[in-house]
Each structure stands twice: as C-alpha cells, then as structure tokens.
Amino acid sequence: MHTKGKNMRGKGIRETRQADRQTDDGETGMSPFALAILILGGLLILCAFLITPAAAHVPLTSGGNDHIDDAFPVPDPTKSWVVYGELEGGGDVRYYRMAMATGDELRLSLFTPRGAPAFVPGIVVMGPDLAPSGTLPPFVDMPPHDHAEETGGDGHATGGAEADEYGAVVIGGTVPDGAEFEPFTPSALYHSAEYSHMVRKQGTYYVAVYAPEGSASGGNYGLAVGYREEFTLSEWLLVPFSVLAIHRWEGQSWALILGPLVLTLVGGFGLLLWRGRREGMSATGPGTGKGPAFPIRGPFGWLAVTAGLLYIGTGVMLLVQTAIALGKAGLTGAAVLPVIYLIVAVLLGSVALRNGLHHTGRTGWGTKNAGLSMIFIGVVGFVAWAGLLAGPVMAVVAGIGALVWGERSALTR
C-alpha cells in the first residue's frame, strides 16, 4: 500500500506538471518562449538574406574538358558560378567557354583549397577583342579555326571571330599569402589568379585553367565566374548537397563532414530513450517492466522529433565547418553569416523537438496549432538549408498531417 501510494502521488505530480505546461501553451499550441524563437528565427533568416547575395555562388562540376574542342560551356557567364575541377600535374589543362555580349563583364577568380606552393594554377583568357599579354604555355590550345559566330536565344553570342583574331591573356598563378574565409560554404580558400574585362566585341571567350610545367604536383581548383548572385528554386534547394560535395573537394572525409550530424541523431535518440526508460521506471516502480519505453508517440511525434534532430545536426555540422575554415583564415566579420544560419537551425530544431514531445495529441497526429508551427519550421528550413532537405520535408508533412487529422485543442490529453 505504501508503494502504491507513492506511485499515485508521483503520477499526480506528473499530471499536474503536464497540465501546467498545457495551460502555459494556451490555445496557440506553443509556449511564449517557442513563439519568440520562431519570430527570432524569421528575423535572423531575413538578415541572412540581406547578406547572402554578397557571398553566394552557384556550384558547377565539369568533366571531360581537357581539350578546347570539349570546352565546358558556362551558362550565362555574368551569373555568379563556381566551377570545380582537378588538374593532375604540370602541363595539365581544363577548358571553359563563355558566350559574352557587348557590354558584359568577364570576371574570373581562381582558387585552391590548400594553397600549397607545389600547386599554383594559372589561367589563360582567349577572346576576340583581347590584346595578347604574357607568354602562352605551349600546351594550351587556341580556339579552332572554323569557329563561326552564332547568337543564342538570350541575346548572348554563342560563336565568335576567326581564330586568328583571338588574343590570349596569360595570368600566371601566384602563391597566396593566406586563406580567405568564404562564408557561404563555409570554407577557407587560397586565391591564385584574378581577371576582369569589359567586353567590347560579342563572341565566345575561352578560359584555360592550367598547371605550369614545373608544378611538383596536381590538385583541386575552383574557378569563380560572373558577379550576379541569383538562384533558381532547384539550385537553392540542392545547395546543402552541393556544399557536401565542396567539402569533399576540399579533401575532407565523409566521417568529418557527416559525423556531427550522425552523432547528433544517435545522441538525441539515445537521450530520449534513456529519458523514457527513467520516467517509466519512476511511474511504475523498479522491476515492473511497465511504463513508457520511449517518450515519442504517434506519426506527428516521430516526424517532428526527427526533423528537429536533423535541424540541430546540420547546425552542428555548420559549427564544425566554420571552426575549420576560421582556423585557417583567422577571425573575420564574414563569419556572421554562417553563425546566423547555425542559430536559426538550432532554434527551429529545438521548437520542432518540443512539438514532437509535447503536442502529439490523443490520436498521435498532433494539434492543429502545433501543425501550423511545424509548417513554418519546414518552410524556413528550406530557405535556411537546415536539415539536409529531409528535415524540412518531415516538418511540413508533420504539419499537414496535424492540420488534417490533428486535434483542434492545443491541450495534449
């Protein structure tokens, strides 16, 4: 009887605490703290939008472009792109072609992820209105002689002048003094060559990225092209996966790249399992084998909690990558951009976790008001690249499910 009485008192205390939590939530499905977090997250991501265009480049990956006849076409070269590639060693070349219109600016920047003196690539720019400058490496090809001028549907030329009218400007690579922090990825980059030219004659321009014959080794490089920062919807949504590929290009292992996310998921679910067992033992007494084995219930709970852990995990990934990059480049004000995205991911992930643990409702599909907050979390997650796309999808599905099948009351019974 004494044990039974203690169990009843413990149950009454827990029910009272749960009722207090529900009363604090009121009819909004969120506590004032959670609501403040969502508002703060929205404001932070708005600030990030004002900063991102100054740092954003759409990534491209080329291949099979080791001869000028197979030059990789860069679409709309005034748009800001980064083409990633690799040179195998001295005398190796990769070619790119860009259709330019009169009045366009051809803007190029070449960088590497390591900045080693053994590998310092350079660029050769070939165009119809360029005055030759520098000594053309003997292994770099000029444009073909049968190059004819055409015009694409966007008004940019897709052809150019005869080959004998082309001039070649050689920009030899230089060993950088240090790394520059790139906040968009984030990464530490070593710039070896830059070039800018206002186009006076419409035509196709060719860019050759080469490793000098005396290069002791090959390596990876990135060629930034253009200056107009803009994204299509698909480009924006796929940025998280492009960033993973960029970190691999930097030479990082998958364990280093994805390890923080995996540890967050394993640790998060492990803590929830431990909490569930502890609360179950407290509710029914040791050795009874009764009580909740896991504090997550219903599809809403699982979707919301998993989305929350994915958000937090990507925030931890961003923290690790920012620390690695700043360790190479040094502290800089540009670090505010990844910090904003990190804070947004962790704050929204925390609210998603809370929703999944406290607002599942009697049916397990959550409350309708909690569903609205999950849809908001999902939409902001898409914008902020949190959760590796899977997190925002789960958040939106949880929110829609709650709106369709969830309870009208914000109280979890």
pLDDT for residue 319: 97
Q: Is 318 left (phi over 0), alpha (psi -120 to 50) or beta?
A: alpha
14: Cβ contacts below 8 Å, ≥ 6 apart: 279, 283
The answer to whether the CB of 119 falls within 8 A of the CB of 174 is no
Amino acid at 269: F
Tokens in use for 362?
């009697």
Q: Nearest 5°: phi and psi at 331?
A: -65, 140
State the Cα–Cα distance between residues 404 and 413, nearest whole angstrom.
Answer: 18
CA distance 221 to 182: 15
Quick one: tokens of 19? 């009722």
Q: CB of 156 within 8 A of CB of 196? A: no
Element (H, E) at 256: helix 254-284
pLDDT value, residue 37: 63
Give the per-residue pLDDT at 215: 87
Lookup: tokens for 289: 């084998």
Nearest to 261 by CA among 195, 333, 320, 194: 320
HEC assignment per residue over 180-246: EEECCCCEEEEEEEEEEEECCCCEEEEEEEECCCCCCCCEEEEEEECCECCCCHHHHHCHHHHHHHH
pTM of the predicted model as reported, rounded to 2 decimal places: 0.82
CB 118 within 8 A of CB 216: yes
**Is the Cβ–Cβ distance between 359 and 29 less than 8 Å?**
yes
Q: Please give the pLDDT value at position 14.
A: 47
Which residue positions in the chain have pLDDT lower than 50? 1, 3-4, 6, 8-29, 54, 148-164, 285-289, 410-413
Return the pLDDT at 407.
85
Position 32 scores a pLDDT of 65
Q: How far apart are CA 31 and CA 23, in angstroms?
A: 9
Count of Cβ atoms closer than 10 Å to residue 82 Cβ: 23
CB 326 within 8 A of CB 265: no
CB neighbour list of residue 150: distance below 8 Å, 6 or more residues apart: 157, 158, 159
Classified by CATH at the fold level, domain 58-230 comes out as: Jelly Rolls (2.60.120)
Domain ranges for the chain, please list them. Answer: 2-54+252-405, 58-230
Helices 368-384 & 298-329 angle (0-180, nearest 10): 30
Give which of 142, 140, 137, 138 is closest to 167, Cα–Cα.
142
